[in-house]
Amino acid sequence: MSWWGKVIGGGFGFMFGGPLGALAGMAMGHQFDKGLNITELESGNTERVQLAFFTATFSVMGYLAKADGQVSKSEIQMAQSIMGQMNLNPEQRKAAIELFNKGKQDDFELDGILLQFKQECQRRTNLLQMFLEILIATAFADNSFDKAEHEALQHIATSIGFNAQQLDHLISMVTAQQKSHSSTTQPSIENAYAVLGVEKDISDADLKKAYRRLMSQHHPDKLVSKGLPEEMIKLANEKTSEIKSAYEQIKTNRK
């Protein structure tokens, strides 16, 4: 049974406590009135992490969208686009929208959510990085980062174990990937290097290592096995496709 199947079937108990569980309960709690047998999954279980990822992603996305004082049309469209890419069923989409709206509220417990999410992920660095990359893409939805959004991202990144340098590196990569994805023509060679997060003078050997590392970090099956909701596999596939295209463009340019 999938993580969502356990949610609607009562297999998670009343979630897993803490602010993350309370938030998920408010968004999906109506599903737990069925009086079914309940067994709570242990911390670190893949399906439990998938629920935590879903809950944290859409709620913190809502928080970040409002970081500059207002939620732009582009940011709402980005959230809707991710929901569309995930092919959410009506119940899942309703829960995602509810979580997004919870994140926009003034009393949203950001620090508690981030702390518990990090604990639930249990050092799954690639999964935490994917979470951060989705948030960066949300902030970049209107093609700009203002000071409030950048400060919010810095706080989020620090809370889940990424330093300022790592965040700026990811911002550069994700924004380049966004440009590559939205371009109707082949992106510039400079953008291709940015997608891979490397400098133009990198050696061929180190370029290949960087490419393989990125492909491993974003491998859809690996991410799902670590706790990425199955519905988000399309996002991972798109990232690996963009990384591969950039690598092939650089190789062709170097010949």
More confident of the two residues 42 and 140: 140
Residue 114 to residue 160: CA distance in whole angstroms: 7
- Quick: pLDDT tens for 76-134: 887 887 787 777 888 888 889 999 999 999 999 999 999 999 999 988 999 999 999 99
Q: Tokens representing 161?
A: 């174990």
The residue ranges of DSSP E strands in the chain, in sequence order, are: none
- Quick: pLDDT tens for 63-79: 998 887 777 777 788 78
Q: What is the pTM of this model?
A: 0.85
Q: Tokens representing 93?
A: 């989409």
Give every CB contact of residue 138 below 8 A, 6+ residues apart in sequence: 61, 64, 65, 75, 78, 79
Give every CB contact of residue 6 below 8 A, 6+ residues apart in sequence: 12, 41, 47, 51
Confidence (pLDDT) at 17 = 75
Q: Tokens representing 205?
A: 């050997």
Give residue 156's identity as a one-letter amino acid code.
I
Q: Is the pLDDT of residue 39 over 50?
A: no
**With bands split at pLDDT 50, 70 and 90, how would you rate the model's confidence at 36?**
very low
